[in-house]
């Protein structure tokens, strides 16, 4: 598929999404349209898999008779194979195409599909009960409320709207047979990004802008492109984890945790839709700091964009928690930034790399945060690089941010690299965007570990200690740009010339006024 065709697919899906836009908020219609796209994906996946199973039988899955003895025999075998390989099952009458055609009046006069659709979505979840994929599908469609008044005042209005969306989606070929291109995955990511751009401050709860995701992915795979596993403790929609999977040569297993139930559902859909097998990802729905779900595990790569300066309990009981106990202090309850860092460092394997996005305040605030920074640098010596990012690159906030890269077994363990990339961006409307060349420059500087005037610096641990463990980038990278010197004699000469020109212009105006018999627009006493 060409790049132009990809863009056309993305635009088609966005146009369909806007069918719902006038009815509800961006958050609400996001959940519906992404859920329906996912349902269509599951249907096409089943059809392709089942038809492969039926190859040579001169039958197709869609035309199998669910009521006949022969049809039931085939369907029972297909159901068993689907649950084992795909993790779920849909009968031919439950397929997306079937409901779309019914809603469009192609299967008879009864076009009401809301009750059928509700039942089908529930059946998808129930088909996994007792199987290894049950957790990955549990409550997956809870956010698609087909009884909501947001869809219309009457049942008929709701049905007409949903049928219209399904019919439009049914006209699009997702090209799932094209194994060389994750066409639908790209389109899904595009839609998530589009929804994030209109979601204001809420966007940070489920989406990291693609350039930042790409940078984080490159940073954690630079020294180890083959990963046993990757982990995101605040995974949102899972886009950052998928970006690492795409960047790496190999990723064995994907782990994540997300406290928002709706976003948790979106993350699981995103994994499945990107063809990550249900046995290859494990995403949990809990508060990461309060109720961590993967405590016994260590990870080769950890990436995160946790909520900036969010609150947490900072319960004194956590002083006996292995994630925090050795530091002697907890991050303040009003700012959990470094609590997330401590959590990630605890889960980092000996040869692993972690990269986390934080607000700048985490670099220099004192008190308990200063104490934690000192421990990370002086005792654990795991801070490898501090990267300053441009301001106004995240949805819903314009604050400047940074990335901390940490490793337990550092080769250059007597210094820390500081990179000031805050001025390297392209202005796009009201947002600053990091382009591939800006990302490449950061990664190459990290790879070479070099100092560059106005851009990067290498500071010894002793220098950081002398700065009282303050990591403010401007203390290490002198990015001050001296203003061009002004030649005052030249300015004075220019003013004299301007004054002479002004006098000549006044004389010309005076002569025109005299011809017209009017007073000039300035005092007679003004020198001529």
**Could you write out the DSSP letters of every residue in 24-44?**
S-HHHHHHHHHHHHHHHHHHH
How does 457-492 read in b/e, with b if 16+ C-beta sit within 10 Å?
A: bbbebeebeeeebebbbebbbeeeeeeeeeeeeeee
The Cα–Cα gap between 45 and 51 comes to: 10
Q: Token pair for residue 206? A: 């489920």
396: confidence class by pLDDT, cuts 50, 70, 90: low
For the ranges 306-310, 349-353, 389-393, the one whose mean pLDDT is highest: 349-353
* Contact predicate 441/433, CB 8 Å: no
Task: Give the model's pLDDT for residue 47.
Answer: 94
Q: Predicted confidence band at 155 (pLDDT cuts at 50, 70, 90)?
A: very high
* 301, β-bridge pairs: 230, 353
Total tally of structural domains belonging to the chain: 3
Q: What pLDDT was estimated at residue 202?
A: 47
Say if residue 248 is in the same domain as residue 309.
Answer: yes
Q: Are residues 134 and 220 in the same domain?
A: no
Q: Distance of CA 502 to CAs 2, 509, 515, Å? A: 63, 11, 20
Cα 328 to Cα 275, 296, 324, 368, 377: the distances in Å are: 43, 22, 7, 9, 15
* 202 is a domain residue: no
Query: Domain range for residue 504?
Result: 486-528
Instruction: Say whether both 408 and 515 belong to one domain.
Output: no
3-state secondary structure of 355: strand
pLDDT, tens digit (0-9, with 9 covering 90-100), for 51-102? 999 998 889 999 999 999 999 999 999 999 999 999 999 999 999 999 999 9
Q: Does 18 reside within a domain? A: yes
Q: Which of 197, 232, 263 is the last residue of a domain?
A: 197
Q: What is the mean pLDDT of residues 463-482?
A: 89
Confidence of residue 428 (pLDDT cuts 50, 70, 90): confident
Instruction: Please tell me whether residues 399 and 462 are part of one structural domain.
Output: yes
Residue 489 has a pLDDT of 85
Q: What is the pLDDT of residue 457?
A: 97
Does one domain contain both 366 and 507? no
Tokens at 404, concatenated: 């901390």
SS3 290: coil
Residues 302-323 have a mean pLDDT of: 96
Asked if 110 and 152 sit in the same domain, the reply is yes
Question: Looking at the structure, do residues 247 and 395 belong to the same domain, yes or no?
Answer: yes
CA distance 280 to 252: 7
Does one domain contain both 127 and 102? Answer: yes
* Percent of the chain clearing pLDDT 70 (strictly above): 93
User: How many whole angstroms separate alpha carbon 230 and alpha carbon 92?
Assistant: 37
100: its two tokens:
């779309």
Q: pLDDT band for position 206 (50/70/90)?
A: low
Q: What is the pLDDT of residue 201?
A: 47
Q: Are 415 and 456 in contact (CB under 8 A)?
A: no
The proportion of the chain whose per-residue pLDDT surpasses 90, expressed as a percent, equals: 67
Using CA atoms, how far apart are residues 241 and 379, in angstroms rounded to an integer?
Answer: 30
Q: Stretch 388-417: mean pLDDT, rounded?
A: 89
Quote the Cα angle for 275-234-143, to 5°: 65
The CATH number assigned to the domain holding 117 equals 1.20.1260.30
In a domain, 481, yes or no: no
Q: How far apart are the C-alpha atoms of 221 and 250, rounded to whole Å?
A: 10
In this predicted structure, what is the pLDDT of residue 203?
45
CA angle 281, 298, 306 (to 5 degrees): 70
- On whether both 349 and 241 belong to a single domain, the answer is yes
521 or 49: which carries more pLDDT confidence? 49
Is the Cβ–Cβ distance between 301 and 227 less than 8 Å? yes
Domain boundary (197, 226, 251) is at 197
User: At 483, phi and psi to the nearest 5?
Assistant: -75, 150
Average pLDDT over residues 284-306: 97
The CATH number assigned to the domain holding 254 equals 3.40.50.150
> What local confidence, expressed as pLDDT, does residue 483 receive?
66
Looking at the fold, whether 448 and 385 belong to one and the same domain comes out as yes
Does 193 share its domain with 315? no
Residue 527 has pLDDT above 60, yes or no: no
The answer on pLDDT for 180 being more than 60 is no
Q: Are residues 29 and 66 in the same domain?
A: yes
Average pLDDT value for residue range 348-367: 96
């Amino acid at each position: 598929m060409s790049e132009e065709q990809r863009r056309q697919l993305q635009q088609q899906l966005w146009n369909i999404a806007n069918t719902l836009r006038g009815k509800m908020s961006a958050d609400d219609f996001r959940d519906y349209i992404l859920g329906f796209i996912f349902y269509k994906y599951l249907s096409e996946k089943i059809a392709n898999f089942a038809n492969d199973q039926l190859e040579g039988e001169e039958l197709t899955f869609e035309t199998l008779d669910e009521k006949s003895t022969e049809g039931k025999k085939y369907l029972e075998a297909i159901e068993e194979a689907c649950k084992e390989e795909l993790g779920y099952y849909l009968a031919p009458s439950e397929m997306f195409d079937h409901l779309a055609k019914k809603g469009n009046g192609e299967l008879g006069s009864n076009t009401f599909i809301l009750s059928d659709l509700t039942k089908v979505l529930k059946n998808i979840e129930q088909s996994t009960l007792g199987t290894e994929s049950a957790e990955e599908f549990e409550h997956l469609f809870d956010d698609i409320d087909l009884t909501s008044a947001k869809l219309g005042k009457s049942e008929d209005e709701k049905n007409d709207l949903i049928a219209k969306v399904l019919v439009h989606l049914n006209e699009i070929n997702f090209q799932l047979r094209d194994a060389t291109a994750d066409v639908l995955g790209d389109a899904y990511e595009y839609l998530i990004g589009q929804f994030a751009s209109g979601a204001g401050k809420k966007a940070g709860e489920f989406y990291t802008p693609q350039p930042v995701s790409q940078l984080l992915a490159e940073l954690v795979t630079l020294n180890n492109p083959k990963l046993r596993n990757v982990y995101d403790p605040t995974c949102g929609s899972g886009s950052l984890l998928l970006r690492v999977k795409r960047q790496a040569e190999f990723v064995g297993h994907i782990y994540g945790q997300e406290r928002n139930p709706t976003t948790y559902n979106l993350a699981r859909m995103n994994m499945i839709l990107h063809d990550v097998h249900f046995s290859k990802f494990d995403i949990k729905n809990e508060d990461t700091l309060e109720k961590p779900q993967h405590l016994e595990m260590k990870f080769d790569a950890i990436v995160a964009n946790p909520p900036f300066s969010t609150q947490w309990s900072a319960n004194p009981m956590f002083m006996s928690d292995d994630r925090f106990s050795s530091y002697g202090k907890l991050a303040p309850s009003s700012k959990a930034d470094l609590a997330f860092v401590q959590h990630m460092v605890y889960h980092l394997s000996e040869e692993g790399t972690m990269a986390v996005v934080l607000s700048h305040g985490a670099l220099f605030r004192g008190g308990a945060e200063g104490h934690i920074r000192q421990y990370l640098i002086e005792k654990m010596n795991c801070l490898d690089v501090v990267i300053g990012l441009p301001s106004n690159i995240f949805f819903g906030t314009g604050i400047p941010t940074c990335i901390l890269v940490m490793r337990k077994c550092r080769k250059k363990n007597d210094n820390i690299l500081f990179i000031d990339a805050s001025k390297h961006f392209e202005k796009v409307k009201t947002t600053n965007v990091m382009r591939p060349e800006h990302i490449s420059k950061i990664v190459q500087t990290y790879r070479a570990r070099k100092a560059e005037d106005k851009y990067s610096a290498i500071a010894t641990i002793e220098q950081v200690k002398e700065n009282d463990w303050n990591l403010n980038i401007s203390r290490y990278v002198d990015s001050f740009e001296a203003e061009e010197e002004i030649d005052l004699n030249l300015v004075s000469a220019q003013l004299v010339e301007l004054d002479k020109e002004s006098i000549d212009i006044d004389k010309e105006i005076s002569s025109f006024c005299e011809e017209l018999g009017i007073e000039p627009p300035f005092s007679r006493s003004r020198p001529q």
